[in-house]
Amino acid sequence: MKRSSRELPSPLATDEIERVWIDAAARVGLRVVRTGDAYATSDGRGTIAIGVGEALDVDDAVAQLVFHELCHAITQGEDNLGKPDWGLENIQVGATDAVREHACLRLAAHLADPHGLRELLAPTTEYRAYHDALPNDPLADGDDPAIALAREAAARAAAAPWAAPLAAALAATAAAIARASLHPVGLPLGPAHETCGSCAWLYVGGRGKGVERCRQAAAPNADGPRTRRDLPACARWEPPVDCATCGACCREAYHSVTVSVRDPVVWKQPDLIERHGHRFEILRDGDRCAALSDRRNDGARREGERIFTCAIYDDRPQACRDFAAGGRHCLDARRRVGLSARA
């Protein structure tokens, strides 16, 4: 099955957390072994095989894979426990199996959420997009046929033999993450008095109904991992962006600002327009926009702090108007000039 890597090691990939989930599987009568021949599979005779070496990507973890297999076992029900891969086609997923995979992911999110582990226990397969688009309540009413299956699975998960081993493993995992001083997005914890809700890089987005996510922990050109505004801040916490003390997008972060021939700035500010064939650009002054100026603090801000202003702010081109403070490009610009931590 094709997989997609987040390219960052999983915080779950520790010996302690791996043992927690191997023990959880043992408590429900399942043995976990490692193999170089598969990603994750079950033989229908009580053994779950998890990949090793090149079978896994850098962002995979035994704990997440065992948890996922247990969720599959619960979702498929008692009648399928004795079938290889819980009765699912593990090579090329068909429409029916896709619904059951979706149900498994809804169950996983439902179980992991109370422990703050939804993001860390998320799949790294092509089903990640579906998982990330799930609502805050993955069992809430909706048109998805997987919801009914997930609700049935949740009822089974709340009963023996699953309930106690799962609860213990999830609690132990959350405790281990806390002891490692890691935020649920996988980064070290930050200022003790701050939260995700006060951070510049919290945003609401993703596929489907938007949810709270972390822009700082996002892979390039991808949605950020889920977070919550009440969670403690991570090490990349920053206060909301103050454009007047930043100016990154107007400085050396970018080499040019292209403007349309129809943009009013072309005729309102002709002295700041350069033409390159059929292209128009805002004039540069070295490595920055010629309309940008900066001065030292006038007493309203921290002493010695540089204050950036735009000489043509009211006439600024559309590209500048569309540039969102706190957006993905804003973070990229700040990283380029050394104002924000790089991924």
State residue 303's pLDDT score.
47
Which of 156, 178, 200 represents a domain boundary (last residue)? 178
Q: Is the pLDDT of residue 250 over 60?
A: yes
Q: Which residues contact 268 (CB under 8 A, 6 or more apart)?
A: 312, 315
CB 195 within 8 A of CB 231: yes
CB 323 within 8 A of CB 316: no
* DSSP string for residues in 87-153: G--SSS--HHHHHHHHHHHHHHHHHHGGGT-TTTT---BTTHHHHHT--SSTTSS-S-THHHHHHHH
Q: What is the percent of the chain where pLDDT is above 70?
A: 93
Higher pLDDT, 8 or 246: 246
Q: Which residues contact 337 (CB under 8 A, 6 or more apart)?
A: 248, 251, 252, 253
Q: Is the pLDDT of residue 300 over 70?
A: no
- Whether residues 165 and 261 fall in one domain: no
Tell me the pLDDT tens digit for each residue of 43-72.
999 999 999 988 888 889 999 999 999 999
| Structural domain harbouring 278 | 243-336
Which of 224, 240, 256 represents a domain boundary (last residue)? 240
pTM: 0.63
Within-domain flag for 341? no
Determine the Cα–Cα distance for residues 133 and 148; give it in Å rounded to an integer. 18
How far out from the chain centre does Cα 221 lie? 11
State residue 222's pLDDT score.
85
Look over the chain and give the mean of its residue pLDDT values, rounded to a whole number.
90
- Whether residues 278 and 325 fall in one domain: yes
Tell me how many domains the chain contains: 3
pLDDT bucket at 265, cuts 50 / 70 / 90: very high
- Whether residues 209 and 110 fall in one domain: no
